């Protein structure tokens, strides 16, 4: 960590392959950073995963489970980091600063993260996984409906469109789900993380040519949605940009 901590200069990194409607054109990163790679690392000299680098930038103890990021969002970042191949992984670098400070106890956030992952995977996943993912979509929608005091069978337009495109899986999911309730704690601790695992695996094994780009896009879009959810009620703040000589 010592060589990294002594770095004072910064550069602007541009990632043209990350879609500009989700990510801005530039972000600030340390000039010397460890190479992103799969799995956990004892220290920066051995490399870093996405969330370990986030812990370093946030000034936290070196960890792939830093407190600066929502646990489920961090889980998605680790899954994407470990699933995509080495040539694609550097494209995640501009996203790392964006997850710092994104944390909340609101169960709406957990449901939104899990729902976005399930909806992204459902159209391209294999038939057996589609059944699981369609069930996941319904479970997420029911959690949100309960939180908002709406009917448990109400479904957002976004989910309805995706479910209508896979009618067999949607029908199976509705019959399987029935009226079985899921407690908020169970959803947060077990259901939502399981949905992320199935969704990322479903995309990774899909018979489409752009699986790695889809995974990067999923993480970028999820970060953007979390940002929107977590700051929507916050008071406007003046943005102060550091001066780079």
Are 36 and 130 found together in one domain? Answer: no
Q: Please tell me the number of Cα atoms within 13 Å of 189 on its side-chain side.
A: 5
The pLDDT value recorded for residue 195 is 98
The pLDDT value recorded for residue 86 is 92
The pLDDT value recorded for residue 232 is 64
Q: How far is CA 145 from CA 79, 108, 140, 155, 191, in A?
A: 28, 10, 9, 8, 16
Could you tell me the two tokens for 80? 């994407």
The pLDDT value recorded for residue 182 is 81
Looking up tokens 């337009």 gives 157
**Minimal CA–CA distance to 98: which of 70, 60, 118, 140?**
70
One pLDDT digit (tens) per residue for the chain, 245 residues: 433 333 333 323 333 344 444 444 344 444 455 677 776 666 666 678 899 999 999 999 989 999 999 999 999 999 999 999 999 999 999 999 999 999 999 999 999 999 999 999 999 999 999 999 999 999 999 999 999 998 878 899 999 999 999 999 999 998 887 666 789 999 999 999 999 999 999 999 999 999 999 999 999 999 999 999 997 645 444 333 333 22
The pLDDT value recorded for residue 45 is 66
Are 76 and 114 found together in one domain? Answer: no
DSSP 48: B
The pLDDT value recorded for residue 48 is 86
The pLDDT value recorded for residue 15 is 37
| Overall domain count for the chain | 2
Asked, for residue 68, whether it belongs to a domain, the answer is yes
Could you tell me the two tokens for 39? 């799995």
Asked, for residue 90, whether it belongs to a domain, the answer is yes
Looking up tokens 């910064």 gives 10
The pLDDT value recorded for residue 241 is 34
- Choose one of 99, 130, 154: the last residue of a domain: 99
Q: Which domain, by its residues, includes 95?
A: 2-99
Are 6 and 95 found together in one domain? Answer: yes
Asked, for residue 244, whether it belongs to a domain, the answer is no
pTM score: 0.80
Asked, for residue 81, whether it belongs to a domain, the answer is yes
Are 127 and 204 found together in one domain? Answer: yes
């Amino acid at each position: 960590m010592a060589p990294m901590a002594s770095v004072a200069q910064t550069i602007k990194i541009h990632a043209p392959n990350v879609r500009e409607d989700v990510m801005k054109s530039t972000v600030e990163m340390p000039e010397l950073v460890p190479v992103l790679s799969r799995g956990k690392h004892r220290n920066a000299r051995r490399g870093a995963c996405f969330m370990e680098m986030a812990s370093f930038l946030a000034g936290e103890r070196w960890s792939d489970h830093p407190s600066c990021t929502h646990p489920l969002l961090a889980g998605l970042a680790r899954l994407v980091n470990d699933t995509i191949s080495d040539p694609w992984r550097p494209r995640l670098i501009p996203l790392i600063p964006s997850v710092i400070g994104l944390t909340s106890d609101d169960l709406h956030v957990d449901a939104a993260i899990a729902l976005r992952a399930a909806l992204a995977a459902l159209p391209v996943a294999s038939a057996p996984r589609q059944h699981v993912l369609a069930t996941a979509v319904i479970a997420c929608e029911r959690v949100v409906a309960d939180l908002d005091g709406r009917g448990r069978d109400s479904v957002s337009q976004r989910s309805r469109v995706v479910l209508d495109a896979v009618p067999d899986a949607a029908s199976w999911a509705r019959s399987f789900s029935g009226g079985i309730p899921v407690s908020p704690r169970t959803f947060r601790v077990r259901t939502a993380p399981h949905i992320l695992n199935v969704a990322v695996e479903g995309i990774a094994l899909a018979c489409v040519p752009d699986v790695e780009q889809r995974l990067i896009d999923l993480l970028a879009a999820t970060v953007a949605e979390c940002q929107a959810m977590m700051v929507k009620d916050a008071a406007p703040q003046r943005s102060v940009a550091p001066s780079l000589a």
